[in-house]
Amino acid sequence: MPEKQKKLSIELEKARELVVSNPQQSEITLRELLAKDNSNREDLQIKISLAYSLFSQTKINESLKLYEEVLKKASVHNFQREIAEAMLGKGICNIYSSNLGEGISNCTQAIEIFKKLSLPEKEAQANNCLGSLYFAKGEFVKSLERYKNTMRLTKNKETIMYTMALGNSALIYLLRGEMEKSVKFSRLSIEKAKKLNFYRGVCSFQSNISDALRLMGEYTTGFKHLEEGLELAKKLNYVANIASMSVSYANYWIDLGELKKAYQMLNSAFEIYEDFYDPQGKILALQTLANYWLVQGQFQKAKKTIREALELVNKTGASDAEIEILTLLTEIHEGMGQTDEAYKYLKQADRLSRERNSEIGHAQVLIQRGRICLNKLDFNEAEMSLNEALWHSVKINHIIFQFTCKMLLAQTFLVNYLHNSTDFQNYNDAISFISEAMELAKEKKLIPNYINALIIRGLLYSSQDEQENAEKTLTEAIQLAQSHEMDFKSRNVQEKLLVISAKKSSNSPKSQLNHIILSYALEELKATTASYVESVISEEDLADTFFVSFKIDENLGPVILEKENVKTNDMAWNKNILMIGSLYSIALGQGIQYHEGLFGPLPFGDKKLRSIIYTLIIDDPSQIQKRTHQQSYTLLCLVFTKNLIPFFYDRQKVKNIFEEQTRTLKTIAEIDKGFLEFLRKKILSEIMADLV
């Protein structure tokens, strides 16, 4: 090789190495090389590297234009390797556009040329790109096969290409719900990326493994990976990774009920996306922000956010998440009772999934269709759509979809049973699907999903007076939640266990209590399968909110202390209120010592009402027996329609209000109608401020 060519080859290789660690400097070096007196082939080789450098900086259009220029000139000279590399480069750019079919064609042709030229490493690179294109189409089986080909063809396993194939495979396992495999492949890819100083890969793989661990309920370990990845990204100023990991943090905080922290992390991500062009990253951030609004039942804000994501898809061509966005819009509009609008988006998703031949997209469409039919009480159509969705989910081995389908089928049969309680087969079918979902979640170590299924199963046991099984099942859920440091979930289950345990001591009619608990189980089932919390509030919802307080009298047991903003001339309703108060007084007052603090929201009768309950022990001169120490165990119950449930998601805020307002109370006589009215208005004004 002549000295001039040898020198250019060395300089070009150095510039290529810079693409990984410093793509901006790589671009500068390559443009300097391009300005020299090179041969036609040398110019094309430099331009191929320059195009990839531009791609690494997310200058997609510039990159694509340069690859097309190379392809045109290489074709004139019949430079086969350069033709294949230009096609591969176009395929890489096609991932970020809506031209997935063209990208697949480009990569397939590139693979054939690399085979003929006996260039297995390049063939591996093209397979990796083809895998990513199939991934973008939602064809995970084909995608995973291409990543396996990449690893098979890569002779040197300590390379970036092999490491990327490992990391990409981990991402597919993550999205399919195969979390153990995802964690295994992610750990291998992190280990190799560190050895190769492939720091951008380290950051991405740390984020992926943290997502898998979050879905397994391994929050502490997941946080450690996020912290390590974010620290590295900040050190090297990888702004795209900083933004994406901020979104991952937000997902953690949403799961744990720490909404203020979640919002702060999302704000951090959006501040980056204002100055940094990364449409795919911003779309994922918008999806998370929509989820942030949905867990609070704020449909309008969620709808606005997810529409912004759809507009960004249409504007940039970053179409990976388009079907998912359309199906989420379907679910939001259906949740708002806008079925025609929901179908408009569902039809778009259906058309797109057929055009792309996307199995995962088709399954998503069927799940949403089943959900709509269920809401319309069209049980037969719901069952057929969900069974077909389940069949497709098994076919593509998508564990999350399988779990969702089974739980939605359980919900279908349970709702049918509530509408026709003489047909006990519907109840048995619901139990069967919940049991299958439980086993699936347990087997695949989807701990949060398993806990949710345990809660529902425990409540259903209680609704059929199988008290021992109910308590055993809910106790298992509590222990699992505690062992995974899921305090938010643990407290939630403990409250349910207290309520069902109180049934044994309550004098209220068992059938009435069982109906309340059965309805409660159904709501838990809905919450497990939906992306949102139902909330369409009206002025009537606020006006109908009321307070009722109870105390445990030393002689009479639970008695009503005071009521506020509730009709007092309805004797049946007054009797019902006393029955509920007795149940909760027993539930929260049982054990070695009284349970103090904030509880709920819990069911309040069978009128679709819920209650936040604050309990305290306060001086009461009327209690003269020695064992009471002239004190009463008191319950302050704020009762509201279930539409308001999401606004009590921030429990700490509500607890702080109760503590602040009750701190100065000296005796129980101060808990009068005026105090309860003030407390009600104070709480409502504070939580409504969040809505504004």
* Choice between 551 and 366, residue whose per-residue pLDDT is larger: 366
Confidence at residue 229, expressed as pLDDT on a 0 to 100 scale: 95
Alpha carbon 586 to chain centroid distance? 36
Q: What share of the chain is helix, strand, coil (3-state, %, to 5)?
A: 75, 5, 20
pLDDT of residue 382: 95
Residues 523 and 547 in one domain: no
* Average pLDDT of the chain to the nearest whole number: 86
Same domain (yes/no): 550, 686: yes
294 band by pLDDT with thresholds 50, 70 and 90: confident
Residue 137 in any domain: the answer is no
Say how many residues make up the chain: 692
| Residues 54, 90 contacting (CB under 8 angstroms) | no
Q: Is the pLDDT of residue 591 over 60?
A: no
**Rounded to an integer, what distance in angstroms lies between the CA atom of residue 376 and that of residue 342?**
13
My answer on whether 552 and 684 are in the same domain is yes
pLDDT band at 374 (very low <50, low <70, confident <90, very high): very high
Q: Which residue has the tokens 């495999």?
A: 181
For residue 255, the model assigns a pLDDT of 86
Confidence band (pLDDT; 50, 70, 90) for 81?
A: very high
The predicted pLDDT at position 592 comes to 41
Which of 36-40, 137-141, 278-282, 561-565 shows the lowest per-residue confidence on average (mean pLDDT)? Answer: 137-141
Q: How many helices (H) and strands (E) does the chain have?
A: 30, 5
The last residue of one of the domains, among 529, 564, 599, is 529
What pLDDT score was predicted for residue 625?
A: 65
Residues 47, 86: Cα–Cα separation, whole Å = 10
Does the pLDDT at position 508 exceed 50?
yes
Read off the pTM.
0.76
Mean pLDDT, residues 66-89: 94
Cα of first residue to Cα of last residue in the chain, in angstroms, is 72
Q: In sequence order, what are the residues at sequence separation of 6 or more whose Cβ sits closer than 8 angstroms to the Cβ of residue 391?
A: none
Of the pLDDT bands very low, low, confident and very high (cuts 50, 70, 90), residue 566 is confident
Domain count, the chain: 2
- Rounded Cα distance, 383 and 414, in Å: 12
- For residues 544 and 618, membership in a common domain is answered with yes
Q: Is 538 exposed, middle or buried (0-12, 13-18, 19+ CB in 10 A)?
A: exposed
Query: Is 691 a residue whose pLDDT tops 50?
Result: no
Considering the domain architecture, whether residues 546 and 513 belong to the same structural domain is answered as: no
* Whole-number Å distance between alpha carbons of 400 and 172: 12
What is the reported pLDDT for 533?
Answer: 57
Question: Per residue in 162-214, pLDDT tens?
Answer: 999 999 999 999 988 899 999 999 999 999 999 988 898 999 999 999 999 99
Range of the domain at 471: 398-529
pLDDT for the residue numbered 587: 59
Residue carrying the six token digits 């008695």? 559
> Could you tell me what percent of the chain has a pLDDT over 90?
43
Among 149-153, 184-188, 579-583, name the one with the lowest average pLDDT: 579-583
Q: Which residues pair with 613 in a beta bridge?
A: 599, 637
> What per-residue confidence (pLDDT) applies to 644?
78
Closest among 8, 95, 18, 78 to 45, alpha carbons compared: 8
- Is the predicted pLDDT of residue 501 greater than 90, yes or no? no
Q: Are residues 507 and 613 in the same domain?
A: no
In a domain, 219, yes or no: no
| Residue 333: inside a domain | no
Q: What is the CATH number of the domain that holds 636?
A: 3.30.450
* 310 lies in some domain: no
Q: Same structural domain for residues 406 and 464?
A: yes
d(CA 173, CA 127): 18
Of these ranges, 47-56, 359-368, 541-550, 638-647, the one predicted with the greatest mean pLDDT is 359-368
Distance (Å, rounded) from C-alpha 104 to C-alpha 119? 19
**Least-confidence region, from 30-39, 125-134, 434-443:** 30-39
Residue 505, in any domain of the structure: yes
Among residues 529, 548, 569, the one where a domain terminates is 529
Specify whether 546 is located in the same domain as 619: yes
pLDDT score, position 692: 41
Give CA–CA dist 202/197, Å, rounded.
Answer: 8
Last residue of a domain, one of 508, 529, 550: 529
Separation CA 529–CA 439 (nearest Å) = 17
How confident is the model at residue 184, as a pLDDT? 96
Name, of 79-83, 296-300, 509-513, the range with top average pLDDT: 79-83
Q: Helix or strand or coil: residue 252? A: helix
- Least confidently predicted of 472-486, 576-590, 608-622: 576-590
Statement: residue 573 has pLDDT above 70 = no
Whether 483 and 545 map to the same domain: the answer is no
Cα radius of gyration (the chain): 30
Question: Is residue 488 assigned to a domain?
Answer: yes
Residue 494 placed within a domain: yes
Please enumerate in sequence order all residues whose Cβ is within 8 A of that of 578, keeping only pairs 6 or more positions apart, or say none: 558, 559, 560
| Pair (515, 610) in one structural domain | no
Q: Supply the pLDDT for residue 402.
A: 95
Residue 497 in any domain: the answer is yes
Q: Are residues 561 and 687 in the same domain?
A: yes
Per the CB < 8 A criterion, the answer to whether 463 and 521 are in contact is yes
Shared domain for 515 and 595, answered yes or no, is no
243-268 mean pLDDT: 92
pLDDT at 328: 92
Predicted confidence band at 383 (pLDDT cuts at 50, 70, 90)? Answer: very high
